[in-house]
Structure formats: structure tokens, C-alpha cells
Amino acid sequence: MTLSMIREFFEVTKRLDEDPEIRAIVLTGAGERAFSAGGDLKSLLPAALEAGWDILNPDPTARFLSAVFTPVIAAVRGACVGAGFEIMLGTDIRIAGTDSSFALAEVKWGLIPGSGTNVRLPRQLPWAVAMELLLTGSTISADRAAQVGLINQAVEPENVLRTAMDIARRIASNGPVAVRTAKEIAVRSLSPGDAFALEHALNSRVLGSQDAREGVAAFQEMRTPQFTGR
């Protein structure tokens, strides 16, 4: 994901959400290797480090899909990491192939996943599981993701999109006002705006640290980072 792709994602999802003819959205990656391999550390993070604050989320209170009240189903194949993982957390129903894997590796490079994950993940998973993912950077399989409730179900890879589309059709056959209202109540009752703003402020602290610069440099140079805690 580049900065221009992220901005386009916000524009496209807003446009889809405002179209009354669209009853459900299915979100998937291009190809079979990955739902998304995350942010492009060679172009995306250097710009954020240079700015010294979270330029990826210009509105501190909004994140991926946080203002979209049309139901969104994720159809995941392959790697779902970093920014891809953060996008998935903004979806409502998640179908993944058994070949999928999930990770938030940012801490390994002196960063945090600052697009809502620190707020959303502990609300969506048991605390211990959320902290394991946030603090270790470990990768989990589709089977474990289903067991802990990160995804709804893991299916054979060739059935992922078909299963997601079947769910979308079931949603689309229901009363559109009722469906949209049900989601809007669920989203707004959680009131994530203030928590997103807190994440935005503290992520800027991380982006301004020496450790963040060292982590990105280490990634680009394919070496182990040497963190100093500054």
C-alpha cells in the first residue's frame, strides 16, 4: 500500500457507501498471493518519518471503513499483514482461505500499526490474543484466526470469493434500511473516535523516535535493527 493507494481507498469506499444501489461490499486482494502485504516501507514510512507524525490518517478520528455503514465482507487469500490486516479489521464479516496468514509485524521494526488496530483489535478479540498479536509481531494461521474469532471461517482457497459473495447476496436480500441501520448503531455505539484520536497522537510519538528510523532503515538494508529505546 502506497500513500496514494490509501487515499484512493478512502475515496472509493466513501463513493460506494453513498450509492443507494449497493447493498453490500466484498473486499479482496488482486491475485492469490496476498490480501495485502501491508504498507510499502520503501515509500510510505520514510514520508511519515520525515513528517514526524501520522500522515496516513489526516482525520485523527477516522480509520479504514470506520464511516462506511454499508456491510463489508473481506475475502482473504494469502498474506494479510500490516495495513492489509488493519483494513480487514474495518470489515464486518471475514472469509479466509486455509492458505491465509495474519500478522502485525510493525513492532519488529520499531513501529506500531497506527490505522486503528490498537483500538479495534482489543475490542474484537480476547485481550490476551490481541496483545499477543500486537506485542510479538507473530504470524497466525487461518485456522487459529478462526478459532480466536478474528475471521468468521476458513475455507478452501478456491471457495473464498464464492463464499463471500454468497454472504453478500444474503445481506443484499434483506431490508436495506434495516441492514444499514443495524450496522450504523453497532459502529456508533462503540464510539471509537476518541480512541482513534489517542492512537493518532501516540503513533506520532513513535514515528518521531530514533527507533522508528532505525527499524525502517534495518528493513530496507535487510538487517536486524538495533533499538535504543529513544
By annotation, the residues acting in catalysis are: 86, 106
Which residues lie below 8 Å from residue 190, measured CB to CB, with a gap of 6+?
Answer: 123
- Assess contact for 225 and 110: CB atoms under 8 A: yes
Q: Going by DSSP bridges, is the β-strand pair 34-36/79-81 parallel, antiparallel, or unpaired?
A: parallel
Residue 47 Rama label (left phi>0; alpha psi -120 to 50; beta): alpha
At residue 160, the 3 state secondary structure works out as: helix
SS3 18: coil
Cα–Cα–Cα angle for 140, 145, 151, rounded to 5 degrees: 140
Helices (H), 90-207: 117-124, 127-136, 142-148, 160-172, 176-190, 193-207
